[in-house]
Amino acid sequence: MIEIVPVLDLIGNQAVSGKSGNRSTYTPLNTIYAPNSDPLNIANGLELNGAKEIYIADLDLIEKQGNNLYKIKDVNTVLPVMLDCGIRDFESFKFYLDFAYKLIVATETIESIDEMRKIFNTFPRERIVVSVDIKDGQLYSNNLDMNLEEFRDVLRELDPNEIILLNISDVGTGNGYDIRFLDDFKEFKDKIIIGGGINQEDLEPLERYGVKKALIGTALHNGSISIL
């Protein structure tokens, strides 16, 4: 059975919801797991219902408009946090290790492959998650001038324990997962965490494919998909 990893996006110490990465239109999250959008309350509700870890994106940090780090540190005492905070380089990775159990090194924000190599050469692999961000069928990155095929070569070199395949175009839509991206990365299927628009109908085929974990936000919080 696929492990469901709940997703929270944070702005101003509150959980928010939005679609397709359009962060300017996000609104406070309505979730069946808590009476409000406080991340700590939501984490407690998720833990009581069987969640084993939680994915948090600190949108303020990613957009360089403040941070939610101390709220995230509180959540990490309830559920181990897999944190996406816009890590750019080795030094920022080292700093954010104090706030979460796992840190996401995302293609969207990392400055260079050399910085990724430094991270992997220094820190335990169990604390590093690489996120392959995909938008409009292409590798999405502010700094890396490469395509998906070239980045696959980087993954072979670094050999991460976990790899997120995140289709940013589908985040929050519930439109279903485009299996083509899985086929492109099938050699890593035992390491893959799937994210972006996943609905209930996706879970069985993803499980048959061999995927172990799925990032679920909207469909989990509205009750369409359950943790267990």
> CATH number for the domain including 138?
3.20.20.70
Instruction: Report if pTM > 0.95.
Output: no
Find the helix or strand (DSSP H, E) in which 93 lies. helix 90-96
Instruction: Write down the pLDDT at residue 153.
Output: 97
Q: How confident is the model at residue 174 (pLDDT cuts 50, 70, 90)?
A: low
| Average of per-residue pLDDT across 43-62 | 96
Whose tokens are 């406080």? That residue is 38
Q: Answer yes or no: is 22 within a domain.
A: yes
Q: Answer yes or no: is 177 within a domain.
A: yes
* Domain around 150: 3-221
Q: Which two tokens stand for residue 52?
A: 């084993």
Structural domains counted in the chain? 1
Q: How far is CA 50 from CA 113, 157, 187, in A?
A: 36, 35, 30
| Average of per-residue pLDDT across 43-66 | 95
Q: Answer yes or no: is 227 within a domain.
A: no
Q: Answer yes or no: is 87 within a domain.
A: yes
Q: Rounded CA gap, 171 and 71, in Å?
A: 23
- % of the chain with per-residue pLDDT over 90: 75
Closest CA to 160 of 137, 185, 134: 185
Q: Rounded CA gap, 199 and 27, in Å?
A: 21
Q: Answer yes or no: is 165 within a domain.
A: yes
Q: Answer yes or no: is 226 within a domain.
A: no
Q: Answer yes or no: is 228 within a domain.
A: no
Q: Answer yes or no: is 139 within a domain.
A: yes
Higher pLDDT, 15 or 196: 15
Q: How confident is the model at residue 105 (pLDDT cuts 50, 70, 90)?
A: very high
